[in-house]
Amino acid sequence: MTSLLSLLLLVLLTLTSVESKTFWADVAALKEFKNSVDAKSITPGSCLSSWDFSVDPCDNLSGETFTCGFRCDTVVSGSGRVTDLSLDHPGYSGSLSSVSFNFPYLQSLDLSGNYFSGPLPDSLSNLTRLTSLYLSGNSFSGSIPDSLGSMPALEELLLDNNRLSGSVPASFNNLSSLKRLEIQLNNISGEFPDLSSLKNLNYLDASDNRISGRVPSSLPGSVVQISMRNNLMEGTIPESFRDLTSLEVVDLSHNKLTGSVPSFIFTHQTLQQLTLSFNGFTSLDSPYYSPSGLPSELISVDLSNNQIRGSLPLFMGLLPKLSALSLENNSFSGMIPTQYVWKTVSPGSDFAAFQRLLLGGNFLFGVVPGPLMALKPGSANVQLAGNCFSWCPATFFFCQGQEQRSLTECRKFSRVIP
């Protein structure tokens, strides 16, 4: 009788253990991951310092052991499976290149804000259910593995602020679920690949790299924001941007773009913010317009620090929602258009006022219009310094910051105007 009771108790304990225990392969994968981290970087109080494998991980999650760093869910056969691995930021370091990442049910991996180094492991592609991969703010180096393009469930891929080099893999065009791609602040080079198959992509940031070639013309119509500032791209804005019917933000500043800014970009049906500063544009194509205004959603336009010549574009004063316009440090000449003046001081009910109008560092001449002279500090951010006005003393806030150009410089410029 005693032996029968002992047997029943053993069976009961075994069943209870099986129902609550972390699946053995996930325990092994957690151990392997922790062992890959430099032990000296695992500081007291950090998540990894609490991982004590003398007890079951999923059974003891959020207790004195395994206080944080991952989540478990009962997925199959009553076993706990690791579905989320999100570390804290105490400064973990080490190379993860040999880690197998054998977590078949993992949906989110967040190792951001630490000091992990070495190449990105090919084994990340084992995470076939992964929807979010956050590796931002580490010291990963080398090229981005092609295998990352074989993660069909991936929706967010953040590799920004590392030391990655090489080109963006063409295999990224296979990430059919991808919504957000951030690779900014690396040393990525080469031409940008075709991403036209990513029908869910809405956010792209590839800024602060060494990407060359033309501005990518094969982007999906779903994209809302394109940030590719501070690269080495040439040419101009591709005609295909006209068909990006969800586009709201474009930042292509600090590149090597040249030629003329196309007219369609100013009347794009959804675009709200356009930043093309610090390029080599020499002209603007004016869209057709009537005195009643232009169909445009633009709120902010920055074309400063280019080489644009000619008169200030009248149509900018007719963009109904435009409230911030920067044309500083170009080669504009002529007088300030009346449209700019009234949009600054008295735009009317159908037009947003210029809250920021930056025209400094050009070759504008004549007199500063009277209504602008009457502006008080704080009423609007207006900058007119560094031009050829007949009178713009520094006692006026909008004439401060740099001296008016000399008469010799202004005359010399007027002689070379084609």
For the segment 402-417, what is each residue's pLDDT rounded down to a tens digit? 899 999 999 888 765 5
Looking at the predicted structure, is the pLDDT value of residue 368 above 50? Answer: yes
- pLDDT band per the 50, 70, 90 thresholds, residue 30: very high
Mean residue pLDDT of the chain comes to 92
Which pLDDT belongs to residue 415?
65
280-284, strands of its sheet edge to edge? 234-235, 256-261, 280-284
Q: Which two tokens stand for residue 6?
A: 């002992």
Which burial class, exposed, middle or buried, applies to 392 when counting CB atoms under 10 A from its CB (0-12, 13-18, 19+)? buried
Looking at the predicted structure, is the pLDDT value of residue 107 above 80? Answer: yes
Q: How far apart are CA 211 and CA 229, in angstroms?
A: 10
pTM over 0.85: yes
User: CA geometry: angle at 371 spanning 369 and 375, to 5°?
Assistant: 115
208: left (phi over 0), alpha (psi -120 to 50) or beta: left
Question: Out of 59-68, 177-186, 293-302, which region has the weakest mean confidence (pLDDT)?
Answer: 59-68
**399, 371 Cβ separation under 8 angstroms:** no
State the average pLDDT over residues 280-290.
90
Residue bearing the bigger pLDDT, 181 or 290: 181
**Phi, psi (rounded to 5 degrees) for 339:** -60, -35
CB atoms within 10 A of CB 367: 13
Q: How far apart are CA 51 and CA 22, in angstroms?
A: 14
135-149 confidence digits (pLDDT tens): 999 999 999 999 999
Positive or negative: CA dihedral 194, 200, 206, 207: positive
Residue whose pair of structure tokens reads 């002209």 in the numeric block: 283
pLDDT over 90 for what percent of the chain? 84
Which pLDDT belongs to residue 78?
78
Which pLDDT belongs to residue 274?
98
Looking at the predicted structure, is the pLDDT value of residue 17 above 60? Answer: no
State the average pLDDT over residues 97-109.
97
Residue type at 305 in one-letter notation: N
Which pLDDT belongs to residue 197?
96
pLDDT over 70 for what percent of the chain? 93
Looking at the predicted structure, is the pLDDT value of residue 361 above 70? Answer: yes
Looking at the predicted structure, is the pLDDT value of residue 267 above 60? Answer: yes
Q: How far apart are CA 90 and CA 113, in angstroms?
A: 8
Residue bearing the bigger pLDDT, 10 or 38: 38
Q: Which two tokens stand for residue 10?
A: 């053993």
Which pLDDT belongs to residue 416?
59
CA distances from 143 to 132, 198, 287 (A): 20, 22, 43
Question: Out of 139-143, 187-191, 394-398, which region has the weakest mean confidence (pLDDT)?
Answer: 394-398
**236, 263 Cβ separation under 8 angstroms:** no
Looking at the predicted structure, is the pLDDT value of residue 384 above 90? Answer: yes
Beta-strand relationship, 70-76 and 79-86: antiparallel
3-state secondary structure the chain: CHHHHHHHHHHHHHHHHHHHCECHHHHHHHHHHHHHCCHHHCCCCCCHHHCCCCCCCCCCCCCCCCCCCEEEEEEECCEEEEEEEECCCCCCEEECCCCCCCCCCCCEEECCCCEEEEECCHHHHHCCCCCEEECCCCEEEEECCHHHHHCCCCCEEECCCCEEEECCCHHHHHCCCCCEEECCCCEEEEECCCCCCCCCCCEEECCCCEEECECCCCCCCCCCEEECCCCCCEECCCHHHHHCCCCCEEECCCCEEEEEECHHHHHCCCCCEEECCCCEEEEECCCCCECCECCCCCCEEECCCCCCEEECCHHHHHCCCCCEEECCCCEEEECCCHHHHHHHHCCCCCCCCCCEEECCCCEEEECCCHHHHCCCCCCCEEECCCCEECCCCCCCHHHCCCCCCCHHHHHHHHHHCC
Which pLDDT belongs to residue 292?
67
Question: Out of 55-69, 222-236, 263-277, which region has the weakest mean confidence (pLDDT)?
Answer: 55-69
Looking at the predicted structure, is the pLDDT value of residue 418 above 70? Answer: no
State the average pLDDT over residues 278-290.
92
**168, 192 Cβ separation under 8 angstroms:** yes
State the average pLDDT over residues 376-405.
92
Tell me how long the chain is. 418
Of 298, 249, 255, 244, nearest in space to 277 by CA: 255
Which pLDDT belongs to residue 16?
40
Which pLDDT belongs to residue 231?
98
Looking at the predicted structure, is the pLDDT value of residue 1 above 60? Answer: no
Looking at the predicted structure, is the pLDDT value of residue 193 above 80? Answer: yes
Looking at the predicted structure, is the pLDDT value of residue 11 above 50? Answer: no
231-257 confidence digits (pLDDT tens): 999 999 999 999 999 999 999 999 999
Residue whose pair of structure tokens reads 């435009």 in the numeric block: 322
**182, 158 Cβ separation under 8 angstroms:** yes
327-350 confidence digits (pLDDT tens): 999 999 999 999 999 999 987 778
